[in-house]
Each structure stands twice: as structure tokens, then as C-alpha cells.
A and B are shown apart, each in its own frame.
With several copies, the nearest count.
Chain A
Amino acid sequence: MAYTIKIEAFEGPFDLLFHLIEKNEIDIYDIPINDITEQYLHYIYEMEKLDLDVTSEFLVMAATLIEIKSKMLLPKDVFVEEGIEVEDIDPRDELVRKLLEYKKYKAVTEEFKKREGLYNRIYFKAKEEIIFESHDHDKILDNLEINDLINAFNKLLKDTSKKIQDPYYNIREIEREPVSIEDKLVDILNILNHKKKITFQSIFTSIADKLEVVVTFLALLELMKVKKIKVIQEKCFDGIMIELVD
């Protein structure tokens, strides 16, 4: 029987299992483990075919399902405790407990999503600047030096980093331009056209963004691969030098 399945991105094995349970309108307390295991394995197979990332967690769950399935085939132990007939623990019990726990948070996540949207719809204003200035206006510019400017700037830097650590400070996102490897390739080659030989470190000193560091490094590797640059280290622990290949 040929049938197509739309493969979605799942957050994990629990997410996938829930999808299957909902799709099949299964009673979570009485999961037909044979069917579900088969469908689960089929999904993983499809995901692999599509080159989607099937992480180890998905495979561990597959093993768990198979284990439960085999346990279900064993005859149930019935024993008597304090005069009451008690059945042994259902092999599905642990899985159901985990699924329900997960579902609880998945449900609450929807609520979080709504609230997050709300926050994105409100605006704050910048703090007013409160200055109590000297009245001696004429002498304001006397004896000003470039150092005053630099000192003021250094204080600004310090205040800013303090502020960022302040838990009450408004979350302010600064969207950076995404840097591409191509951009970085050109950047590095431009520098090398000027200088011929630079230190490995110098390429990274002005970069603040983690992603940009990674991209720069990848660009470096790419340039080595296509033999545009040469990377030299004379001795162990020496500075690494980068050179243009002519």
C-alpha cells in the first residue's frame, strides 16, 4: 500500500509519539503498542530517508517501544496482596507517565507563546536624562582635554556592561547583520592584499559576536582548502601566521 506521510519537525520522541497518538485518536491510557511501534519506526525511517536529523533520542525511544512490546507478550503475573488481587505493573506505565508529564508542559507552552506575543506588543520609552548642571556656564569649556572625552567614554562602557547585567534592564535586542562566509573570505583576502602576512589572532580581535568568530574561522578553513592562503606555525606555541599564496 502506497501512502505518503508529511514529515514534520518534531521536538523529540515524546513529541512524535504524541502526534501519533492524536492522529490515531488513541486512548493514552491504553496505547496499542504494536501499532504505535510500527508507525513510530516508519516515521524514523522516513526521516532518515529525507536526511532529517534523527538524533539518538529517537532511537532510544524506538528501543524502548520494542522492549515494551515484547514485555506485553509475556503472560501477566497476578498475585494477591493483603487479600486483594493485584495485577503486575503494566509495561506501558512508565512511558505513559512520562508522556503525560511532557504533555502538561507542552500545553503550558501554548500559554507562554500567547504571553510572549503580548510582550512584543507593548512599548517602553527611554529613561529621561536627569542633569543638574552648574550655573557657571562660561567656564564650562575651560581646560578641556581629549582625556576627558576618553574618560567619559570609558565610564560609558563600564555603565553599559553593568546595565546589561542588571536583571531589571529592558531586554533590548540588537539585530546584527548576519555575516556570511563569503563576506569573511573577501574581508580576509582584502587584509592580506594589504599586509601579506598577519597573525591568526589579529583577525579575531575586533569581533564581539560568537557567530561571527565561527564564520570567520570557517572562512579561514575554506581559504586554506582552496589554497589561497598558507597558515604557518614555526614552533610549538609560536604565534600562528597567515600568508597569502601567490
Chain B
Amino acid sequence: MDKDEIKSVLEAILFVWSEPISVKELSKALAVDVKNINNVLEEMINEYNFGKRGLQIIKMNDHYQLSTRPEHYSYIQKLVEPKQNKGLTQAALETLAIIAYKQPITKIEIEEIRGVKCDKAISTLQEKNLIEEQGRLEKIGRPIIYGTTLSFLKTFGLKSIEDLPDISEFKLLTQETNDIKHIFTKG
């Protein structure tokens, strides 16, 4: 099977499947090895992005899914029932950001950073399947450890956790923190 044919079959399968499908399954269906499938899919992602296509291929870890592009939102919205997705609250988003970057993390650690109780935010995030319990810490009280889910990756358009925006870019705060003592001696 040549590359164009692989692309063609992959497009067909992604369309029919419509839900995230793993490279392994695609490899099995096409009888083409995983590495090859991954390479072709990466190429396809680029072609879709630069070819002014109406669709895009989303990657989450080793799963792929076909969807529309955000820029066509307003046209599609005219035809379908309005989405009623209410966004997450500030509290839930802050909690999610902390979990995303510091996972695995316990509730107490999250609360130390936010300075407030986070029970409600955590249960909202769990209900929305954005975070999950990933075990318990072997210390007093055996606190639950939280981490993000695969749905989280999809919802925030991330290929994997490594894809999270570099937090040090956010005003270089970590470095500044290290300098605090030094600055304080001046005051």
C-alpha cells in the first residue's frame, strides 16, 4: 500500500469511527506498522492544517480523532442546536491548572497553593471527567492523589501533558521567587 492509499484509508476510518481511535487499532486494520501510521498521520495533520481544509485531525497521546475547525464555528452553529457548554468557573480552572502542572497532587497541596478549600472545584472537575483519582499517598490519612485525564487533553487541545504551555514563560515567576531573599536584603 503506498502512502497516498494509507492516507485515504485513514481518512475513511477516522470519518466512520468519529470517536478517538488508537494508532494500534489503525495499524491492525491497515496491516501497516505503528511507526508508519504515526508518520503518515503527522503528515496528514499538517496537510489538513495548511490545505485550508474544513476538518482537522486532533491528537491525544496515541489516539486520533477528526473534528471541525474552530474558525468555522459560526457557520455550523447556525445549523445545529446551540451548544450549552457552560465554561468552568474561575475556581475550577485554577484548581485544574494546578493539578495539570503539579500532578500527581493531593487536595491539601492544591489548597495550600490556592489558599482556599477546593472540594467543590475538585468534584466538578471529576464530574466533567477532567481529573481522576490516581491512587492514594502512603502516609497518615492516606490522601487521594489527583491527576488529569485524557478528556482533559482533548478539551484543552493538548497532544500530551508535555504539551502544556511552559509555566516558566508566565512572567518567569519561579526564577523571581529564588531571588526574593536577595532582594529583601536590600529593603
| A and B touch in their complex, CB below 8 angstroms | yes
Q: Quick check: is A98 within 8 A (CB to CB) of the other chain?
A: yes
Known pairs A127-B17, A127-B117; A152 contacts B187 (CB<8 A): no
B9-23 residues with Cβ-Cβ distance < 8 A to A are 12, 15-20
A74-124 residues with Cβ-Cβ distance < 8 A to B are 86-87, 89-90, 92-93, 96-98, 100-109, 111-113, 115-124
Q: Quick check: is B27 within 8 A (CB to CB) of the other chain?
A: no
Q: Quick check: is A73 within 8 A (CB to CB) of the other chain?
A: no
For the complex formed, measure the closest distance between the CB of B114 and the CB atoms of chain A, giving whole angstroms.
Answer: 6
> Which residues of B approach A to under 8 Å, CB–CB?
12, 15-20, 56, 60, 63, 65-70, 73, 76-77, 79-80, 82-94, 96-98, 100-101, 111-121, 124, 128-130, 149-151, 154-158, 164-165, 167-177, 180-181, 183-185, 187
Q: How far does the alpha carbon of A135 sit from the alpha carbon of B30 in the complex, in Å?
A: 27
Known pairs A93-B180, A146-B165; A141 contacts B18 (CB<8 A): no
A164 — nearest CB in chain B belongs to which residue?
B129
Q: How far does the alpha carbon of A123 sit from the alpha carbon of B12 in the complex, in Å?
A: 9
Interface residues on A, range: 35 or more
Residues of A within 8 A of B174 (CB): 104
Residues of A within 8 A of B167 (CB): 104, 108, 150, 153
Known pairs A108-B97, A112-B93; A87 contacts B180 (CB<8 A): no
B68 touches A152 (CB 8 A): no
B84 touches A173 (CB 8 A): yes
B119 touches A129 (CB 8 A): yes
Residues of A within 8 A of B129 (CB): 167, 171
B63 touches A107 (CB 8 A): no
Q: Quick check: is A246 within 8 A (CB to CB) of the other chain?
A: no
For the complex formed, measure the closest distance between the CB of B41 and the CB atoms of chain A, giving whole angstroms.
Answer: 16
A107 touches B128 (CB 8 A): no
7 closest cross-chain pairs (CB), A and B: A152-B93, A12-B116, A134-B85, A121-B73, A121-B70, A168-B20, A14-B115
A152 touches B70 (CB 8 A): no
Known pairs A12-B114, A105-B101, A149-B96; A125 contacts B16 (CB<8 A): yes
For the complex formed, measure the closest distance between the CB of B79 and the CB atoms of chain A, giving whole angstroms.
Answer: 8
Q: Quick check: is A6 within 8 A (CB to CB) of the other chain?
A: no
Residues of B within 8 A of A30 (CB): 183, 187
Known pairs A131-B89, A145-B156; A176 contacts B176 (CB<8 A): yes
Q: Quick check: is A132 within 8 A (CB to CB) of the other chain?
A: yes
Known pairs A102-B115, A157-B169, A160-B173; A132 contacts B88 (CB<8 A): no
A153-195 residues with Cβ-Cβ distance < 8 A to B are 153, 155-157, 160, 163, 167-171, 173-176
B118 — nearest CB in chain A belongs to which residue?
A129
B149 — nearest CB in chain A belongs to which residue?
A167
Q: Quick check: is A238 within 8 A (CB to CB) of the other chain?
A: no
For the complex formed, measure the closest distance between the CB of B78 and the CB atoms of chain A, giving whole angstroms.
Answer: 11
A102 touches B16 (CB 8 A): no
B157 touches A118 (CB 8 A): yes
Known pairs A100-B177, A152-B97; A129 contacts B65 (CB<8 A): no
Residues of B within 8 A of A41 (CB): none
9 new A-B contacts, CB < 8 A, other than A111-B170, A160-B115, A176-B176, are: A119-B156, A124-B68, A126-B115, A126-B116, A129-B121, A146-B156, A157-B173, A168-B19, A171-B129
